[in-house]
Amino acid sequence: MKINCTCCRGKLEINDKVVIDELNSVYHADCYSEMELNENLINWKDFGTMAVILEKHNL
């Protein structure tokens, strides 16, 4: 399965630090923190490495 970052559309590698939001969109942690500077951000639900997020949230 391949999941891309909702922000930059780049591939999320298994060891990347990622953020998942309430709509189950996944972002690079870096992309998400850049987006936090903007207003219309959906609240995050969890964060961690891609491997952990995949396991916990059944994406």
The site for Zn ion (CB under 5 A) is made up of 5, 7-8, 10, 28, 31
Q: How far is the CB of 21 from Zn ion (least distance, A)?
A: 13
Q: How far is the CB of 51 from Zn ion (least distance, A)?
A: 17
Q: How far is the CB of 20 from Zn ion (least distance, A)?
A: 13
Q: What contacts 33, CB < 8 A, 6 or more positions away? A: none
Q: What contacts 59, CB < 8 A, 6 or more positions away? A: 1, 3, 20, 24, 26, 53
Nearer of residues 3 and 7 to Zn ion, judged by Cβ: 7
